[in-house]
Amino acid sequence: MFHREGQKIILTTFFLVVAIVLLAHYFIALDWVKWTVQIASVIMLVLVLQFFRNPKRPVTPVFDEILAPVDGKIVIIDEVEEPEYFKDRRKQVSIFMSPLNVHVTRYAISGTVTYSKYHPGKYLVAWHPKSSTKNERTTVVIHTPMFGEVLYRQIAGAVARRIVNYAEEGEQVTQGADAGFIKFGSRVDLFLPLDTVINVNLDQKVIGAKTSIASVPSQDG
């Protein structure tokens, strides 16, 4: 299954590859050159298909856990100042996606979208500390029953040139549902309340809509 954001690129790549294979077959005399061109073009199609894959991940929504919004690796766990919306200190958890990861963004928690804004920007490498505030990005805030407001930010990387964000203010969203897409290398930051319990570690690989990123603090004691 492939994401709808990739439909045009997949079709364009498919017809381009067919054209290259046929042209190489009829117009390149040297067999090894012909095969090299044909194999390279097929590999290009396979890479595009794997990038836009959209595996089904059924979720039973829960309100006391925040699930990973994307596939990737945890690159930041820190207490920071969030300057755009909260303007106070929050726990930040950042997930870096390589071009080989699934690039679908999924809602990490159910709730009501209270803020959704696109920011044009630069294209620093996604793991750069300033990419969170300098790169092309979208910021979305969801009001939840147990965490209060949770912010996530889609950040374009050095290769990415387009972020797709489906969140609209006032919309009720469901944990695990499709929230958007980032094309070709990127990062997603989560900004959580300071008392949130973080369930992941640095360099841990996470799976969107499956891995528990955080949970509400225990009420015991």
Task: Please name the amino acid found at residue 212.
Answer: S
- C-alpha distances (whole Å) from 181 to each of 3, 55, 158, 176, 215 are 8, 13, 16, 13, 25
User: Which residue do the tokens 């755009």 mark?
Assistant: 84
What is the set of active-site residues? 186
SS (H, E, C) the chain: CECHHHHHHHHHHHHHHHHHHHHHHHHCCCHHHHHHHHHHHHHHHHHHHHHCECCCCCCCCCCCEEECCCCEEEEEEEEEEECCCCCEEEEEEEEEECCCCCCEEECCCCEEEEEEEEECCECCCCCCCCHHHHECEEEEEEEECCCEEEEEEEEECCCCCCEEECCCCCCEECCCCEEEEECCCEEEEEEECCCCEECCCCCCEECCCCCEEEECCCCCC
Query: How remote is the C-alpha of 52 from its chain's centroid?
Result: 12
